[in-house]
Amino acid sequence: MTKTQTSRFELVRIELPVAWTFAGLVAGLGLGTILSGGAMIDSVVEWTAPIGTLWLRALQMTIIPLVAALLVLGIAQMAAAARAGAAARRMLLLVFALLTLGGIITATVMPWLLELAPIPASASAFLAHTPEQAQQLPSLADFVASLVSPNIVAAAAETAMLPFTIFFALLAVAISKLSEGQRASLLGFFHALANAMLIIIGWVLWLAPVGVFALGLGVAAQAGGGAFGALLHYILVVSAMGGFVLLGAYVLAWIIGGIAPWRFARAMLPAQAVALSTQSSLASLPAMLDSSGRLGLRQSTAEFVLPLAVAIFRATSPAMNLAVAIYVAYLAGIELTPTLLAAGIGVALIISVGSVSLPGSISFVVSIGPIALAMGVPIEPLALLVAVEMLPDIMRTLGNVTMNVAVTSAVDRVQHD
């Protein structure tokens, strides 16, 4: 294990077997396709299904404590950033607006896109391990009342993510108002809790090739070779939402930053090449600084905004995370009312603050799980979709890196006009 610095908090950095997880999925789907319809398939699935279920439950058990800890740490970082001066506050307002806009665009466009390009029927096999439950659509009054839970422990036990995230967001703000000693003590506790949960989830994800193989075999036993096509559909549709964020970066740099799109695109090529090859915004930071210099942005602005953006801003997070939740909702036949979509956007915004510094596989589960739970969407399919996250993650990194430089151009122009 290595560590990476995130503001004043160091979170454990875990190297995960991403390629092996993907290979496990392909192997499980392949074997299930071969055996599908044969006499052996029922016996094989009977032995492998409990393995997949056990791994899935181990993945789920860390979500609540990890989300709580990361929310407190993430909001503490944003509070510290807000105290850094007017430039930081302007940047935070712009970041909040962009994250909100990304969520609204996905909530509007994603359902339309799924109507235009429907989910393949074979994708229904992704719900093989999902318990059936009657859908209850909350009224507006019930939704408003649910925003605050009288018992936060009960909310956690019932995975009521909306009041849970609101409580810990408020707790983080309250902690920032405490004296330095008390603030340090509480943040130290949540810092240690986050690291402990990351270690546990790292152990679980090291077993991902086995768990995903077992789940994939069960899916292919029902869907046959169509499971591959269903996953490809998922990858393309979810990545399309990241594409909107990517295009939005060019628009932001043009309209607010005053940089022509063709000039911005040419200057961004080196940083985007690093982003594609590393799939890491942190590793792309030197290239982003170079792109800022090519655009003629002030060095003082770039050296302040870009490291801060890497630490607290993931532009594609609400858009693509909400897209996954909406995809699974359509898969499960869940009616998404404006109230449920608003709940999803709200949780996506809050959760994005705490998951920026995590590896893709961990942030996928921690970020999308709470959104899905807040919308009444089953989270079991996430255990399979995490195996292909390495592909949408390319779009995530590309959009994040491009938007970081676009935000820098906007702050630079506003600050010196």
* CATH number, position 291: 1.10.3860
Per-residue confidence of the chain (417 residues) as pLDDT tens digits? 333 333 455 666 666 667 788 888 888 888 888 877 666 777 777 888 888 888 888 888 888 888 888 888 888 877 777 776 777 788 888 989 999 999 999 999 999 999 999 988 877 777 765 655 545 555 656 666 767 778 888 887 777 777 888 888 889 889 988 898 998 999 999 989 988 988 888 888 888 888 888 888 888 777 666 778 888 999 999 999 999 999 999 999 999 999 999 999 999 999 999 988 887 887 889 999 999 999 999 998 888 888 888 878 889 999 999 999 999 999 888 888 888 899 899 889 888 876 666 666 677 878 898 899 888 888 888 888 888 888 888 899 999 999 999 999 999 888 765
Question: What pLDDT is attached to residue 234?
Answer: 92
The secondary structure of residue 83, as a DSSP letter, is: T
Predicted TM-score (pTM) of this structure: 0.83
Q: Number of C-alpha atoms within 13 angstroms, CB side, residue 230?
A: 25
| Residue 146 counted as domain residue | yes
- Ordered DSSP codes for 325-353: HHHHHHHHT----HHHHHHHHHHHHHHHH
| Residue 300 counted as domain residue | yes
Cα 75 to chain centroid distance, Å, stands at 16
CA 260 vs CA 240, 245, 255, 266, 349: distances in Å = 24, 18, 9, 10, 30
Question: What pLDDT is attached to residue 389?
Answer: 84
Question: What pLDDT is attached to residue 373?
Answer: 87
What single letter denotes the amino acid at residue 322? L
| Residue 154 counted as domain residue | yes
Residue 277 to residue 261: CA distance in whole angstroms: 23
In a 10 Å sphere around its CB, with 0-12 CB exposed, 13-18 middle and 19+ buried, how is residue 104 labelled? middle
| Residue 10 counted as domain residue | no
Domain span at 208: 16-416
Question: What pLDDT is attached to residue 5?
Answer: 38
| Residue 11 counted as domain residue | no
| Residue 374 counted as domain residue | yes
| Residue 335 counted as domain residue | yes
What is the enclosing helix (H) or strand (E) of 4?
A: strand 2-6
Residue 4 to residue 48: CA distance in whole angstroms: 37
Query: Angle at CA 37, nearest 5°, toward 35 and 42?
Result: 70
| Residue 168 counted as domain residue | yes
Question: What pLDDT is attached to residue 114?
Answer: 93
In 224-375, which ranges are continuous DSSP H helix?
A: 226-255, 261-278, 285-294, 299-312, 317-332, 338-354, 360-374
Question: What pLDDT is attached to residue 12?
Answer: 66
Question: What pLDDT is attached to residue 71?
Answer: 85
Question: What pLDDT is attached to residue 3?
Answer: 38
How many helices (H) and strands (E) the chain has is answered by 18, 2
Overall domain count for the chain: 1
Question: What pLDDT is attached to residue 230?
Answer: 84
